[in-house]
Amino acid sequence: MEKSAGKLASAEVISGPVGGTFRDPQGRLYQSGDCMLREIYPEHVASVLLWIRSPLAQRWMQESRMVSAEVLSGDPAGHMVLAHPRIFFPSYPWEWTPGQWKHAALLSIEMCEESLESGYILKDATPLNVLFTGPRAVFVDVLSFERRDPQSPLWVAYAQFVRTFLMPLVAYIHLGWPLSATLQRRDGYEPADLAPWLPWARRWRFPLRPLVTLPLLLQKRVYEKSAGAREYRPQMAPDAAAFAASRMLRKTRRLLEALDVPHRVSRWSDYTDTACHYGAADHAAKQGFVRRCLEEMRPLRVLDVGANTGMYSRIAAEAGAEVVAWDSDVQAVDANWKTSHSQNLRILPVVADFARPTPAVGWGNGENASLLTRAQGQFDCVLMLGLLHHLLLADQIPLEAILEQVARISKRWAILEWIPKEDSQFTGLCRGRDQLYERLTIGFFAEALSRQFAVARRENLPNGRSLWLVEKNV
């Protein structure tokens, strides 16, 4: 579909802020309201048009595997603009769980395999090409596919896929390095980064042998051979080249599948089932209160802060909301994602810490927005259940600051849980410093709350905790 870009779109393309793909030699990306505008440079317009109008690209857009692209007419200088729908709450690879990471990698491999049959190939294979809408990955960089040289047996992006997708998984599975560390490793890991930390015997087993050991052994020889020499690009008969490229992709898929993420139990991954300070009556009352509030409010978008494995995220989704679920425990978030993915729920679990939110990163801190920038004013309701005492005592964040942050994120509503000083979880977090927190009474909470919110409903649980539905002050 083609429309006129108009003066507004042209002006925004020229003057808008740098977007996440400003490094792309074919174009730049800008945000305009609920749309993302992608400027295509004149010399690439013809090839990009050919690609996005191809049957394969159109099918992927219809299947929601690739973000849709609407063609806007260009300006007199020959530029073209594509309009993409803005995916609500973009998450970045360093905020994903291992399950999400593998899901995004598998999507990239599958699309590359399918593109071979149509004469295209993925030239840019990085997790930054993928965003999540709910629990499902969507390929968003439509410029990452190009016409394949029919005589080339190579997948040029293979090394990048290994560095940015597979090697972080190797580091996580075999070394326990967090995937969040990739925030500082835009181009992933090299074999030399991991080899010194891996046991020698394990390095010779599949899949570490082809991913780490052999590339490291061959590295010096390749560098010496290539010094001063021109890059060698083999050429084959088209059928043989297509077969070789397809075989390389199948091998890459096997490497990905061999990186089996082990099930790990963390401090919080079994919290819902093992919390001794909650009885059956407490659980029932809490769930009932949250469900009634959400069904009456019918918020379109809900942020569940401290979501754990997603019990209340699912209640919000059942009430018709699109949910983003934050938690700092990777295993709990991964369990939430697996459930949401298997049940096709509108929940996006994200590894995120409310007390230490993800910063803005990239060139000039302008490529990837901070967690709080992405969240500000985006949600109709914020859930913060069983978290306030952790923020107050473990993170030592003042109550006023917490409530101010909730008010900046929520458009209107919040559901909060207050934990009294007598609660076993409260006293446990005090660690003998009870006198420092004497003022944290329910009266103090109500007074601080009144500066940002009005109380619409309150309910006391049998265990002494209380639930508060609050609405922002006008």
Cβ–Cβ under 8 Å, residues 453 and 471: yes
Q: Tell me the CATH number of domain 93-223+232-258, given options 1.10.510.10, 3.40.190.10, 1.10.3260.10, 2.30.30.280.
A: 1.10.510.10
Beta strands, E only, 75-133: 80-85, 120-122, 130-133
- CA dist., res. 112 & res. 123, Å (int): 9
The residue extents of the domains of the chain are 13-85, 93-223+232-258, 271-472
- CA dist., res. 247 & res. 432, Å (int): 62
Collapsed DSSP state (helix, strand, coil) of residue 380: strand
Collapsed DSSP state (helix, strand, coil) of residue 46: helix
Same fold, 13-85 and 93-223+232-258: no
Cβ–Cβ under 8 Å, residues 67 and 142: yes
Residue 67 pLDDT: 96
Please report, in angstroms and rounded to a whole number, the separation of the first and last CA atoms in the chain: 42
- CA dist., res. 315 & res. 290, Å (int): 8
Residue 439 pLDDT: 81
Indicate the helix (H) or strand (E) that contains 349. strand 347-351
Question: In the CATH scheme, what is the code of domain 13-85?
Answer: 3.30.200
Residue 12 pLDDT: 38
Residue 434 pLDDT: 65
CATH topology of domain 271-472: Rossmann fold (3.40.50)
Tens of each residue's pLDDT in the chain, 474 residues:
444 444 333 333 333 434 456 678 888 888 887 888 998 988 999 899 999 999 999 999 999 999 999 988 665 557 789 999 999 999 999 999 999 999 999 999 999 999 999 999 999 999 999 999 999 999 999 999 999 999 999 999 999 999 999 999 999 999 999 999 999 998 999 999 999 999 999 999 999 999 999 999 887 665 555 555 556 678 889 999 999 999 999 999 999 999 998 877 766 556 665 555 667 888 999 999 999 999 999 999 999 999 999 999 999 999 999 999 999 999 999 999 999 999 999 999 999 999 999 999 988 888 889 999 999 999 999 999 989 989 988 888 999 999 999 999 999 999 999 988 777 777 777 766 766 667 888 999 999 999 999 999 999 999 889 999 999 998
Backbone angles phi, psi at 167, to 5 degrees: -65, -40
Distances 98 to 129, 256, 461, 467 between C-alpha atoms, Å: 17, 12, 36, 33
Q: Which residues of 291-308 are buried (b: 16+ CB within 10 A; e: fewer)?
A: eebbeebebebbbbbbbb
Collapsed DSSP state (helix, strand, coil) of residue 252: helix
Residue 275 pLDDT: 57
Amino acid at 262: P
